[in-house]
């Protein structure tokens, strides 16, 4: 590993009294300095859009008919019958659910369920769009395979877009 030059100046010393943080990061060509200020600024700016989205979702209620239609169509198509049943059950009760009995040739909203454990941080029935995003995020995080977990988490925004269109 190449030697790094160490500066012995404190943050308040020097012109402008501005502390700059450079962290060494490995790249294909060796060690390169990375300006974390730029990276942090980009993340903060990106989260401003998320903040507005969440604010909007918190103020939008969800009608049971719209929730059922979305689960029966969009969630069912993307994540399958069992996950769609669980999304609806969690949204309606705040508890995870398991399908009971025959699930073939039925819409997720028609399938009987058995209540399981309370989902942390959720109180059912979910009353706004933000709560639905939490249901999807929690369920996506329950996948046994890490690759599937990441894949499902990456699909939450698309499912939310379909719900809010």
The string of pLDDT tens digits covering residues 84-105 is 999 999 999 999 999 999 888 9
Query: What does the DSSP assignment read for 100-124?
Result: -S--TT--GGGS-EEEEEEPTT--S
Helix residue ranges per DSSP H, the chain: 36-59, 64-70, 76-79, 81-93, 129-140, 146-164
**Residues paired with 99 in a beta bridge:** 113
Q: Looking at the structure, do residues 51 and 105 belong to the same domain, yes or no?
A: no
Q: What is the DSSP letter of 61?
A: B
C-alpha span between 137 and 7 (Å, rounded):
44
Which of 29, 44, 59 terminates a domain? The answer is 59
At 34 the pLDDT is: 55
In-domain check, residue 84: yes
Report the number of distinct structural domains present in the chain.
2
Q: Looking at the structure, do residues 48 and 96 belong to the same domain, yes or no?
A: no
In-domain check, residue 4: no
At 9 the pLDDT is: 46
Q: Looking at the structure, do residues 132 and 85 belong to the same domain, yes or no?
A: yes
In-domain check, residue 12: no
Query: CB-hemisphere CA count at 13 Å for 82?
Result: 6
Q: Looking at the structure, do residues 41 and 117 belong to the same domain, yes or no?
A: no
List the domain range (segments joined by +) for residue 108.
64-164
- Count of positions (residues) in the chain: 165
In-domain check, residue 111: yes
Q: Looking at the structure, do residues 156 and 114 belong to the same domain, yes or no?
A: yes
Which of 11, 30, 59 terminates a domain? The answer is 59
90, 108 Cβ separation under 8 angstroms:
no
Q: Phi then psi for 120, rounded to 5 degrees?
A: -55, 130
pTM metric for this prediction: 0.70
Q: Is the dihedral of CA 89, 122, 161, 82 positive or negative?
A: negative
Q: Looking at the structure, do residues 83 and 157 belong to the same domain, yes or no?
A: yes
pLDDT at 127 over 70: yes
Q: Looking at the structure, do residues 31 and 45 belong to the same domain, yes or no?
A: yes
In-domain check, residue 139: yes
Query: Model confidence at 18, in pLDDT bands (50, 70, 90)?
Result: low
């Amino acid at each position: 590993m190449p030697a790094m030059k160490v500066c012995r100046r404190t943050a308040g010393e020097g012109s402008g009294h501005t502390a700059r943080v450079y962290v060494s990061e490995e790249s294909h060509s060796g060690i390169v300095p990375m300006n974390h200020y730029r990276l942090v600024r980009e993340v903060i700016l990106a989260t401003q859009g998320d903040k507005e989205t969440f604010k909007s979702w918190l103020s939008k209620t969800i009608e049971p008919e719209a929730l059922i239609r979305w689960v029966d169509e969009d969630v069912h198509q993307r994540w399958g019958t069992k996950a769609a049943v669980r999304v609806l059950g969690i949204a309606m009760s705040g508890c995870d659910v398991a399908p009971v009995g025959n699930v073939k040739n039925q819409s997720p909203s028609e399938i009987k369920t058995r209540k399981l454990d309370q989902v942390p941080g959720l109180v059912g029935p979910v009353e706004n769009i933000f709560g639905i995003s939490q249901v999807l995020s929690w369920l996506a995080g329950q996948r046994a395979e890490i690759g599937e977990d990441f894949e499902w988490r990456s699909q939450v925004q698309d499912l939310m877009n379909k719900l809010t269109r």
